[in-house]
Amino acid sequence: MFVDLFNATLTIAGHDIAWREIVGNGFGLASAVGGMRRRVWAWPVGIVGNVLLFTVFLGSVFDTPQNRDLYGQAGRQVFFIIVSVYGWVRWRQARDEGRAHGDEHAVAVVPRWAGRNGWILIGTVAVVGTVVFAQIFRALDSYGPWADAWIFTGSFLATYGMARGWIEFWLIWIAVDAVGVPLLFKAGYYPSAILYIVYAGVVVWGFVVWLRQRDRQSDAGRPLPEQPLLLAE
């Protein structure tokens, strides 16, 4: 029964689509909404989607209808899981500390700009990561290696930025979507491409929500803490 569910497909406009691609992207969208609302549950929900989509983008390994390997798309699911565990722990600790100090409505993260050091990190990783992974994905004969490399690198940066509470992470997601939608349509991953389009709308709205929240906190005179850039603190 499990194998049948795993391999189940849906035919839309003459194209066979794996149900796990649709379900995995649904979890991803739910995670984005949770992130916009700064809810801790956004992280474990996203991890479920990452696991499902990992099997989707290794098409020749897991026998998806597209039968194409997008190593960047598959590899980023692994990084998503790793960084999501970090974000999950970080947000939960921040929320619990707030509640321990008597704030029953404590939020998991305080939105803030990354600042100069943050942008140096973002820019360096974006350029170096894209160049390096493009060569790796080309050697592995990945489909669309340069686009796949940026999607891989940008997704890691965006997820890390979300964990840090950086408002810029929404902008990075927009840049990832701008490259990801054409690549996924071209490769035949239609549900994922459509989700990217829907997700772009959520991302724009999320950016506005976080920006307004940051402005409200500034107007109220609440401190916006500067935090180290290291993953392990």
Does residue 196 belong to any structural domain of this protein?
Answer: yes
Kindly tell me if the per-residue pLDDT of 89 is higher than 70.
yes
The 8-class DSSP code of residue 108 comes to S
What's the rounded mean pLDDT across residues 70-83? 83
Distances (CA, A) of 68 to 16, 17, 74, 123, 143: 14, 13, 11, 30, 7
**Is the pTM above the cut of 0.85?**
no
Does residue 225 belong to any structural domain of this protein?
Answer: no
Helix/strand/coil for 225? coil
Give the separation between CA 213 and CA 206, rounded to whole angstroms.
10
Does residue 71 belong to any structural domain of this protein?
Answer: yes
Q: Tell me the per-residue pLDDT of 168-190, one tens digit each, with 9 for 90 and over.
A: 999 999 999 999 899 888 887 78
Between 191 and 80, the higher pLDDT residue? 80
φ and ψ of 63, to 5 deg: 55, 55
Give the separation between CA 4 and CA 93, rounded to whole angstroms.
40
Host domain of residue 202:
2-219
Question: In this structure, which amino acid lies at residue 186?
Answer: K
Q: Tell me the per-residue pLDDT of 111-168, one tens digit each, with 9 for 90 and over.
A: 999 999 999 999 999 999 999 999 998 988 877 889 989 988 998 899 999 999 999 9
Does residue 224 belong to any structural domain of this protein?
Answer: no
Does residue 159 belong to any structural domain of this protein?
Answer: yes
Does residue 116 belong to any structural domain of this protein?
Answer: yes
- Structure tokens that stand for 125 in this block: 């990783």
pLDDT score at 168: 95
What's the rounded mean pLDDT across residues 65-81? 77
| Chain center to CA of 210 | 16
Choose from 79-88, 95-104, 113-122, 132-141 the range with maximum mean pLDDT: 113-122
Number of structural domains in the chain = 1
**What residues does 15 pair with on adjacent strands?**
12
pLDDT score at 62: 72
Does residue 226 belong to any structural domain of this protein?
Answer: no
Does residue 229 belong to any structural domain of this protein?
Answer: no
